């Protein structure tokens, strides 16, 4: 008998009275066991934690009843070879699923954008740019089968319009976008668009004509916050234009994803924005979904492997500003309507805690390496949309001829929790994706993808514990509501608990 190497113990502080005192340890916290291989996550008593630690120490004289429960949930095991086989089945199943999953191809007609957002990662690229002409667009389409073959991907391709701002209302841009839409439609490729939204309403008829299924736009809060940052180059506001575009697109039947970018300047505006979104009817609209992101430092995009080590690490260091995520969780905890609006899930455990879903391992922190390619107006191919236009990050060309930088792309494409040596024996590797952002790891470590750029293990643990402290009271309230339901009436929570939704583990 031994503790599974994939078992993690989290220590969570909950509001007083949330749980029976029998669950509290000496510090007044509760212990949560999690194992992303078995898919289990449970609140446990101090007695169960003590048994787990005695098993870890090799003590055979332990309470059989408690051990049986830990064994059933996968926190302890009897055969390390079988446990490794279960882990390998998940990893192999994940990457087999990726090979059969849809592959995203992003077309960038130009880098030009009509806005001047201060946090834009494309920066100076958006003021002047070459353009994709008709021949380049056709060349991009022609390389799609070859790129999928190089990636050993058999999934259906789908196209995303990207920029700069892809939906500029100019003669050139309308012509280029229509050619991309028509080419996608003729080939049977679904289309999405990522747009600032100011001219989306003008493009709705064209998007509908060629079957565009979804668009993503950004609103950074109420007008008083949004219009201090997402503005035209002459400083004019954009909120009302984007608001109108969202309504026009959604009422026309196009799904609209609204990204709300949170930073220290906008976090306190989220409650007011949630009230605005509710009044608009967006929170219950079948075609609208809101989600949040965080502003991030972008200096890593300028790093090359031949920079001195200290310069590399200094330029890559830092992502989300210190304290921002903590401030975000405090704000959400005090404002249930914001939770309803955004349903935040920074640690990717929300469905496991609230819906009874199986805990999902995070084997790869970013899909860019395996199932995303961007075509830029210089004829270059990129694997991450945040790196477009930075030649040191290009992984090939599609025009005037096709080339593929396998030495750069393949280590990135195959990178995951097992290929990064520092991650292999890490207790929380299945909660972080294995080594952090691949591009940041490559930049910080002189061009080596199989290295690590991640927060400290303690930071990953804190991230999960913070979200557990937020979600568990909600889950326990729901559990009580289900307990009070009339006998024989089964709801979604019970169904998910019984069935789970992690297909390659069934």
Span 91-118, pLDDT tens digits: 888 888 888 889 999 999 999 999 999 9
Give the residue-averaged pLDDT of 195-201. 98
Per-residue pLDDT at 103: 93
Predicted TM-score (pTM) of this structure:
0.90
Q: What is the pLDDT of residue 481?
A: 62
Give the pLDDT of residue 486.
Answer: 54
The whole-number pLDDT of residue 318 equals 65
Choose between 368 and 403: higher pLDDT.
403
Any idea which residue has 């028509």 for tokens?
182
- pLDDT per residue over 158-174, tens digit each? 999 999 999 999 999 99
Q: 497 pLDDT exceeds 70?
A: no
Spatial distance between the Cα atoms of 404 and 44, rounded to a whole number of angstroms: 51
| Percent of the chain whose pLDDT exceeds 70 | 93
| Exposure class string for 416-450: b at 16+ Cβ within 10 A, else e | bbbebeebeebebbbbbbbbbbbbbbbbbbebebb
Residue 81: the pLDDT is 95
Q: How confident is the model over 323-379, as pLDDT tens digits? A: 888 899 999 999 999 999 999 998 889 999 998 889 988 877 677 888 899 999 999
pLDDT of amino acid 491: 36
Cβ neighbors of 311 (< 8 A, separation 6 or more) are 303
Task: Specify the pLDDT at position 478.
Answer: 75
Average confidence (pLDDT) over 192-210: 98
Cα–Cα separations (whole angstroms), residue 262 to 157, 412, 471: 31, 29, 20
Q: What is the pLDDT of residue 457?
A: 63
Q: How would residue 500 be classed by pLDDT, with cut points 50, 70 and 90?
A: very low
Q: Is the pLDDT of residue 213 over 50?
A: yes
What confidence score (pLDDT) does residue 186 get?
A: 98
Q: How far apart are the C-alpha atoms of 269 and 303, rounded to whole Å?
A: 34
Q: What is the mean pLDDT of the chain?
A: 89
Judged against a pLDDT cut of 50, whether residue 488 lies above it is answered with: no
> Which pLDDT value is given to residue 493?
31
pLDDT at 496: 30
CATH superfamily name and code, 103-303+319-413: Aldolase class I (3.20.20.70)
Q: What is the pLDDT of residue 499?
A: 29
pLDDT, position 286: 96
pLDDT tens by residue, 128-138:
999 999 999 99
Among 190-194, 230-234, 459-463, whose mean pLDDT is lowest? 459-463
Q: Hey, what long-range contacts does 95-102 have (CB within 8 A, 24 or more apart)?
A: 95/370, 95/416, 96/504, 97/503, 97/504, 98/153, 98/370, 98/371, 99/151, 99/152, 99/153, 99/154, 99/155, 100/153, 100/154, 100/155, 101/153, 101/155, 101/371, 102/155, 102/156, 102/157, 102/158, 102/371
Element (H, E) at 218: strand 214-218
* Reported confidence tier of residue 504, pLDDT bands at 50, 70, 90: very low
Confidence of residue 494 (pLDDT cuts 50, 70, 90): very low
Number of residues that make up the chain: 506
With a pLDDT cut of 90, the percent of the chain lying above it is: 66
Which of 175-189, 284-298, 308-322 has the largest mean confidence? 175-189
Question: Could you read off the pLDDT of 46-72 as tens digits, one per residue?
Answer: 999 999 999 999 987 888 888 999 999
- Mention every residue, 6+ apart, whose C-beta is less than 8 A from residue 347: 431, 463, 464, 466, 467, 468
């Amino acid at each position: 008998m031994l503790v599974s190497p994939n078992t993690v113990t989290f220590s969570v502080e909950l509001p007083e009275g949330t749980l029976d005192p029998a669950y509290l340890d000496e510090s007044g916290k509760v212990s949560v066991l999690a194992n992303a291989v078995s898919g289990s996550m449970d609140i446990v008593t101090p007695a169960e934690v003590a048994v787990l630690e005695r098993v870890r120490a090799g003590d055979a004289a332990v309470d059989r009843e408690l051990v049986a429960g830990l064994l059933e949930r996968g926190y302890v095991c009897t055969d390390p070879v079988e446990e490794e086989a279960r882990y390998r089945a998940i990893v192999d199943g994940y990457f087999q699923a990726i090979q059969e999953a849809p592959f995203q191809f992003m077309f960038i007609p130009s880098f030009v954008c009509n806005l001047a957002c201060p946090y834009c990662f494309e920066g100076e690229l958006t003021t002047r740019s070459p353009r994709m002409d008709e021949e380049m667009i056709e060349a991009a389409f022609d390389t799609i089968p070859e790129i999928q073959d190089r990636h050993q991907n058999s999934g259906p391709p789908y196209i995303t319009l990207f920029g700069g701002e892809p939906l500029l209302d100019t003669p050139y841009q309308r012509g280029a976008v229509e050619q991309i839409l028509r080419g996608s439609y003729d080939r049977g490729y679904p289309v999405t668009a990522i747009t600032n939204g100011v001219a989306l309403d003008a493009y709705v008829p064209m998007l509908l004509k060629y079957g565009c299924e979804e668009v993503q736009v950004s609103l950074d809060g109420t007008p008083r916050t949004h219009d201090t940052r997402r503005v035209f180059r002459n400083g004019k506001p954009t909120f009302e234009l984007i608001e109108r575009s969202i309504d026009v697109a959604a009422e026309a039947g196009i799904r609209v994803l609204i990204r709300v970018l949170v930073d220290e300047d906008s976090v306190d505006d989220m409650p007011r924005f949630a009230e605005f979104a509710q009044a608009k009817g967006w929170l219950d609209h079948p075609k609208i979904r809101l989600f949040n992101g965080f502003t991030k430092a972008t200096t890593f995009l300028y790093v090359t492997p031949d920079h001195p080590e200290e310069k590399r690490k200094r330029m890559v260091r830092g992502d989300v500003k210190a304290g921002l995520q903590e401030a975000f969780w405090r704000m959400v905890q005090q404002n249930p309507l914001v939770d309803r609006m955004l349903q935040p899930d920074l640690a990717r455990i929300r469905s496991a805690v609230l819906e009874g879903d199986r805990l999902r391992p995070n084997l790869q922190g970013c899909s860019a390496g395996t199932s995303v390619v961007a075509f830029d107006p210089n004829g270059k191919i990129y694997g991450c949309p945040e790196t477009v236009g930075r030649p040191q990050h290009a992984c090939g060309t599609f025009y005037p001829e096709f080339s593929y930088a396998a030495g750069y792309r393949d280590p990135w494409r195959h990178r995951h929790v097992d290929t990064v040596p520092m991650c292999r024996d890490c207790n929380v590797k299945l909660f972080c994706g294995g080594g952090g952002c691949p591009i940041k790891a490559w930049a910080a470590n002189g061009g080596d993808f199989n290295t690590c750029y991640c927060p400290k293990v303690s930071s990953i643990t804190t991230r999960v514990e913070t979200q557990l402290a937020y979600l568990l009271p909600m889950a326990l309230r729901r559990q009580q509501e289900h307990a009070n339901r009339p006998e024989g009436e089964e709801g979604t929570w019970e169904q998910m608990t019984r069935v789970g939704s992690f297909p390659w583990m069934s």
